[in-house]
Amino acid sequence: MHPVPEAPSRRWNFLTNHAHVLVSVAQDPGIRLRDIATAVGITERAAHRILSELVEGGYVVREREGRRNRYQVKPELPLRHPLVQGREVGDLLEVLLGSAQSAT
């Protein structure tokens, strides 16, 4: 498991909370919801909502493994904003995490 960074300050940021949740899941497919919330600096409820939206959108697959969830990011799916039309989730993860992590 990767070390959980300190909660970010409440100033503006370059990435949305959705991107931060996606990065957290890509780094650690077995990450717990409370750890996502801590890493991103949001509540567990907000982390659950965002993760559910990513699952519903098909960007993350959630599988039950015993009492825990395991996640898989779908790197081949397109980013949603018109400014990055033609780019995929994997492209973003490769920039943020390096090529070894983008295929998670």
**pTM of this prediction exceeds 0.85:** no
Q: Which amino acid is at 93?
A: L
User: According to the CATH classification, is domain 17-102 in 2.60.120.380?
Assistant: no
Give kind and range of the element (H or E) at residue 73.
Answer: strand 68-73
HSE-up (13 A, CA, CB side) for residue 46: 13
d(C-alpha 20, C-alpha 41), whole Å:
10
Residue ranges per structural domain of the chain: 17-102
pLDDT tens digits for range 65-102: 999 999 999 999 999 899 988 999 999 999 999 865 54
